[in-house]
Amino acid sequence: MDTNGFPKSINETQREFLRLCEASDGARGGPPRGDVLELLHASGKSLHLLAHKEAQNHLAAYPQAGTFGV
């Protein structure tokens, strides 16, 4: 845990969320909802692109396996 009670960040999304929390200019002292939603959208899109690339690579490497075997 760091000094403000948050667990240690392990990825960029968590570091950015912590930065938003530390800025604390949203409703009731929390991070602005819009900023959090933008962060989640960007992180989800990045994860989706990575997962798609990995799935394509595995399908190319193991064409006999089919989509459920990969």
Separation between Cα atoms, residue 13 and residue 21, nearest integer Å: 12
Query: Residue 15 is inside which H or E element, if any?
Result: helix 12-23
User: With 60 as the cut, is the pLDDT of residue 2 above it?
Assistant: no
Separation between Cα atoms, residue 2 and residue 7, nearest integer Å: 6
What pLDDT score was predicted for residue 53? Answer: 96
Name the residue ranges covered by the structural domains of the chain.
Answer: 12-64
User: With 80 as the cut, is the pLDDT of residue 7 above it?
Assistant: no
What pLDDT score was predicted for residue 32? Answer: 87
What pLDDT score was predicted for residue 35? Answer: 92
Q: pLDDT tens across 10-67, in order?
A: 899 999 998 898 887 766 778 888 999 999 999 999 999 999 999 899 889 988 887 7
What pLDDT score was predicted for residue 12? Answer: 92
- For the record, the structure tokens of 20 come out as 């938003």
